[in-house]
Amino acid sequence: MIRSRLNRKCQTTIPQAVRIALGLRPGDELCYVIETGRVRLNRGRVASGEAEPFATFPEWGSEADQQAFAAL
C-alpha cells in the first residue's frame, strides 16, 4: 500500500509510484470518484471542444489563478 499525508493546508504530494503508474506530469488534471468507503483517483482529460484557459497563457497557471477560475 502506498501512503501520503495531508499538510496543514490539506494538500498532499502524489507519491512517485502513483505518478508513474498514471503517467502524471505537472499541470495534469486529476479526477476523484467517490465510492462506498473509498476514493478512486484517475488522470483527467480535457474533453474535445472544451477550451483550456491556461493553455494560451501559461503565466496564468498559478495556484491562486487555478482557485479563482475553478468555478468557470
List pLDDT tens digits, range 1-57.
899 999 999 999 999 999 888 888 888 889 999 999 999 998 886 444 455 555 656
Say if residues 13 and 4 touch (Cβ distance below 8 Å): yes
Please determine, for residue 72, whether its predicted confidence score (pLDDT) is greater than 60.
Answer: yes
Please determine, for residue 59, whether its predicted confidence score (pLDDT) is greater than 70.
Answer: no
Looking at the chain, the number of H-run helices and the number of E-run strands are: 3, 2
The pLDDT assigned to 25 comes to 85
The pLDDT assigned to 51 comes to 57
36 to 33, 40, 45: CA distances (angstroms): 10, 10, 24
